[in-house]
Structure 1
Amino acid sequence: MSKKIFTEEQIETLAQNKYVKNVTDKAITYTDEFKKIFIAENQNGKFSREIFEECGFDVDIIGIERVRSSGKRWRAAYRNNGVCGLADTRRNNSGRPSTKELSLEEKYARLQAQNNLLKAENELLKKPRYDGKDDDAKKIKLLSKDKFIIIRDTVKKYKFKNMISYLCNLSGVSRSGYYSYFSATAMESRNKREFCDKVAKDLILKAYNFKNRKKGARQIKLTLNGEFGIVYNLKRIRRIMKKHKIICPIRKANPYRRMAKATHEHRVVPNLLNRDFKQNIPGKVLLTDITYLTYGNNKRAYLSTIKDGSTNEILAYNVATSLSLDIATDTIYKSMNNKDITLAPDAFIHSDQGAHYTSPTFQKLVKSFGLGQSMSRRGNCWDNAPQESFFGHFKDEAYIKSCTALDELKDEIDEYMDYYNNYRYQWNLKKMTPVSFRNHLQAAA
């Protein structure tokens, strides 16, 4: 409906038209005769504005938006119910609630209906409807279609009469929605959709088990297209898989990450660095990360480092055989106990969003040393590019694979770190080593 407000002069002008039954400052009621004329002329190819003007209406007063919406409403009514749909039935079907006082029998019947409806809802809620470990609010939530079925079963079971409106209002659903859900058209549409879903399920299972290799939704889509010439929307495939509990057994979501997210203990902090690595202030930007090292006969160790973003100097490093939290916290302790390191007053440490760095223990330790904390964006290695670059050079230049024992590996790492900091000249550090460049910056400050 248009929001245009009519003035008194405009109301008087509109009221003089023979096709106007009533007019207020906000609405116009047209005669049934005018609606029939409009439909007939519109079917002959005339536009809404043209028909209104030929019947003596000033479209500038009414507003073109109101003219178009009226025409759209009348055409829809005519398509659904013919000429009878054009009749004004507001007087007879006002929808106002009855003000009649209910008798004791009627009040008792309503209370009984309410009690039986609650019983039916409780019976339905006892049934397992969700397999996931969601919160209780999601487990007991009833959809509108569930409420419609409960209302129908309650009415049938207890043989209630004239209780549909009351039970719908009690359940928080619309009466029109109830009748629409059980209409022949809606039921036919649901049956048709169910049949299509069954056909889709068979085809998806066929692709899912193709060559005896279980697949996810994307592989199923590609297999259907490539092997069977069937094009399905990816969302449809996922909906059918969820509906019929077709689960891909490989590459599932990390359960530990889910638990960390559920407990709200692990916190991600903003990216304060924004790739501004070279700030020419030694001890201000500290970059950290963890990488794996394969040595000997497929043995594995892990290396955690802290690198100065301005000088490229490795300030501290730690080698461990497991990825426990200690590998990250011990690296922090080593860097803080290094007497050769002088941190800037506004120093902060930058990392990715790994579980070590989002851990409350690690974050509390960082704060205790007066350091700020920054994190890369999720899945963006470029936000910590100098640290990633160091690991690449380290694995190319250090003799890791020739080490057969952990002690031998640690000795090689110690030797390389000394070489890297004191003897490996770098082009982008004015052809100096990291330690020499650090001394150069401190002397120029």
Structure 2
Amino acid sequence: MTKYDVRFKINLVEQYLSGSNGYRGLVSAYGIEHSQLRRWVASYQLHGLSGLEKKHRFYNAEFKLKVLQHIAREGLSDRHAAALYDIRSTGSIGKWRREYDKGGLVALTPRRKGRPMKPPTPPSKSEASDETRMQKALLEELAYLRAENAYLKKLKALSEAERSGSAGEKAQVLQGLRPDYPLGLLLRAAGLSRSTFYYHVKAMSTQDKYAAIKSKIRMLYERHQGRYGYRRITAALRQAGEMINHKSVQRLMQQLGLQSLVRPKKYRSYRGAVGRIAPNLLERQFQAERPNQKWVTDVTEFHVNGQKLYLSPVMDLYNGEIIAWHTERRPVFRLVSSMLQKAFSRLKLSEKPLLHSDQGWQYQQTMYRKLLHEHAVVQSMSRKGNCLDNAAMESFFGTLKSEFFYLNHFESIEQLQTGIRQYIHYYNHERIRTKLKGLSPVQYRNQALLI
């Protein structure tokens, strides 16, 4: 091993502490080991110039044991402990640990160099018994420190996970450490009585009566990708035959850490003015007695990587079903006309729905009004600047973006179009609504047809 004088060490340490060079630069420039330079810096910071000078020190058994106990208690590394106690060879600590594990405190006693001395006279029985008692006490103390160190590490992990560290959680930690440490030492480190420990162990072994319900709640939550809150999950459970109160579902979801990812929608009020093209015949009467009686439509846009996609859907107010929709990359009239053709194909000869929209330019076109007239569809328009006159469609757009668009990342417009098609199918066939007695729009329409 190359030996370095004190001036060389001070020069490198001062360069590092002054900030003129870092570990990597110094190691590369002077060809020394990274760990050796770190040890010089730590020794200088803790012990000053004396920490860099040559040193020949005699370490007795008590000092070695003190170092090992400190490492076990504080969880220090051998390198950190060597710098703290000004021990020049980090490998010495590992050697001491192996000697202690093999032979106890006696093995830490340094041996004299040279020829062996004449065997001393054997100690008296009283002296031997005192030494045995001291060794036993030291071993017991070291075992306790090891158990305490393991317990504190587990308890620290609990605090970092924002747990309260209650008696039940302490008992859980101790139960995990029992295979490696005596229970008495663990109870002493945790400050827990034996009866309290066994009480909580028994409570942990008791089966959770809500385990099956929790499993179903988590399955529903993951199936709907976090879109369901406790009300919809309650409706889904009741639909599956589980009679459970919504407050119980809310409490169990809180225990599981589950919460709807959909943000609440804000109310904004503005009356606006009636348009000149068509009156507001809907007048916010968003209920319909039968399918294809009242329709609403609107256009919304999406932005993906500097590109836009426009969506134009038609909703049937009878069950909130999206009966037709079309997308385009530009806000052209084909966006609306194609959607209308799809919607008209669902009409029977006797059905003449009312179609409500806002005052967008598409809905004021002569061609749009002509298409409605040809199919005996009555036109209705919101008042100017009043989105609440078309609240049903605005609500769908808010749900679509909250439950789908904002929760996903899209690389291209094509990927977004595929996702919209999948979500609208999910919205119509699977997503239950509390206003529809816990059924999806398609389920509600099919149920009505059977009556």
TM range (shorter): 0.3 to 0.5
TM-score by length of 1: 0.38
TM-score by length of 2: 0.37
Indicate the structure whose relative CO is greater, using CA pairs within 8 Å and at least 6 residues apart: 2
